[in-house]
Homo-oligomer: A and B are copies of this chain.
């Protein structure tokens, strides 16, 4: 499986390094694009790839996503904020043949939460709370104590905090949708890591999932190291035809 990576920031670089180190069987890196790549370079790289990893920005994703999809190639989108834009025609991706894949990013548990959603979502509630240090949220002001700086839907969160809301958007699209998942963003001047708390409640059960993530030193305090590995996990799952939220004992998918 030939992979083209778009973006050489913290996430993109970790994915690139892992693929160069052959961390994932049956998956190889064939091209790396960044903001200086020409349209001709991008076109050639997309044509040669089986799957494109967008690990750049929401703005870049707006261009890359349709460009890859019109070629019928699969794409992993890290800048999920692009899906929160009401002008963005998400329905159009259902018709294929491309698959648009959203990794779990800085959080997880999409396996159990998707299952619980399928069991019954009418009486379900889901909240995603992110606690970061103020500078990682673009807050210059000096805070003496933690402060809730946002509370709203996943869609609203993506428009207010596009860099911080990628996993909220992916979580929402895996479960109750962009308008029914509540997002809370807290600035904590004492935070040394980024914390996420995902709380689900429905007749099936109550789940409280806490993720305290080490920060990728290449990301100016913004990106959790696990995020790139969630992308790598999706790439590893594709040749198996299942996962990452299922264990596969067995050979690669015979396609």
Interface residues, chain A, with chain B CB atoms under 8 Å away: 23, 74, 83, 90, 93-104, 107-116, 118-119, 170, 173-174, 193, 203-214, 224-226, 229-230, 232-234, 236-238, 240-251, 253-255
Contact = CB atoms under 8 A, between A and B. Distances in A.
B111 A240 contact: no
A115 B241 contact: no
Contacts of A245: 104, 108, 110-111, 233, 237, 243-246
Contacts of A229: 115-116, 118-119, 204
Choose among A90, A193, A213 the residue with the greatest number of B CB atoms under 10 Å from its CB: A213
- Across the A-B interface, give the 6 residue pairs with the lowest CB-CB distance, nearest first: A108-B112, A245-B245, A96-B251, A99-B250, A102-B247, A115-B233
A99 B243 contact: no
A241 B170 CA distance: 18
Contacts of A112: 104, 107-109, 211, 226, 230
Contacts of A203: 214
Chain A binding surface SS class: mixed
Contact of A241 (B83, B116, B232, B241): B241
Contact of A101 (B119, B211, B247): B247
A56 B90 CA distance: 41
B250 A23 contact: no
Contacts of A234: 242, 246
A110 B242 contact: no
B114 A242 contact: no
Contacts of A211: 112, 205, 207
